[in-house]
Amino acid sequence: MKNTIFTGAAIAIITPMNADGSINYDVLGEIIDTQIESGTDAIVICGTTGEASTMTDEEHLECIRFAVQRTAKRVPVIAGTGSNDTAYAVKLSKEAEDVGADALLLVTPYYNKTTQKGLIAHFTAVADAVNIPIVLYNIPGRTGMNMDIATVKELAKHRNIAAIKEASGNISYAAKLIAECGDMIDVYSGNDDMIVPLMSLGAKGVISVLSHVIPRETHNMVQYCLDNNFAEATKLQIEYLDLINNLFIEVNPIPVKEAMNMIGVNAGPCRLPLIDMTEEHKAALRASLEKHGLMK
């Protein structure tokens, strides 16, 4: 087994925006500090939740640099550098390493989706170009393709491919993944509603959206699993299931940014093509936040 990047609850952190759509680094810094102080075990910057796909190259790299500097080695910083263009993913991954990222998160290529052999070639090209660990990201609902377990097993042989964020939502697939690859690669849940199920099978933690609004509870849920106290972990999983569901009532990160604004953190708007939530969905989200005593 390679060295584990982190064990516990990481946050797939939003990118706060000013009213004009520019990045609000002051608020980003405040969120990073609050998360670490609340027990969050790693920061994932410039992922899907961070709206990386709408960033310029300069913004993308500056966000990674900022997160590295603000975190100041308190917890690992994992930088999203995936792309459907292998050469671009290599370039961005090397730049992220240069500015101090501890690890990389690489999503499977989307739109011009490749074959399973193509996935091996794509991820290997990036892994060969860097000297920091890589977290593969399997999310077929966004990319249109699923990583075969044989593909993961082959990629896990690479010295730099250390983990996979599993977000297929398929518990049977996750069980087979851990059974066949769990001694070669760390598995993290990519879905907040499946933290306890995946950890009961041997996952090392979660890369979470829920942590934005309840970082301490998310960390505790994972820690209970790590301590083999699944009864208490399950209580938390069930207690916050309504909040988890409402944080994904529309396309991520629309609801979580709205939630942060509702609880008094100036997350600002999303960038187009993401737009404001419907009033009906806002009401459902607000009701969950109120139910759990999170509204200011």
* Residues designated as active site: 137, 165
Residue 277 has φ and ψ, to the nearest 5°, of -65, 155
Tokens standing for residue 251: 């396309």
Distance CA 143, CA 183 (A): 27
Contact 189, 206 (CB under 8 A): yes
Distance CA 178, CA 98 (A): 32
Say how many C-beta atoms besides its own lie within 10 A of residue 91's C-beta: 16
Distance of CA 145 to the CA centre of its chain: 18
What is the three-class DSSP state of 229?
Answer: coil
Contact 10, 204 (CB under 8 A): no
Distance CA 77, CA 224 (A): 23
Contact 285, 277 (CB under 8 A): yes
Cis omega (within 30 of 0) on the bond before 215? no
Distance CA 237, CA 197 (A): 10
What is the three-class DSSP state of 7?
Answer: coil
DSSP 23: B
Say how many C-beta atoms besides its own lie within 10 A of residue 36's C-beta: 19
Contact 259, 285 (CB under 8 A): yes
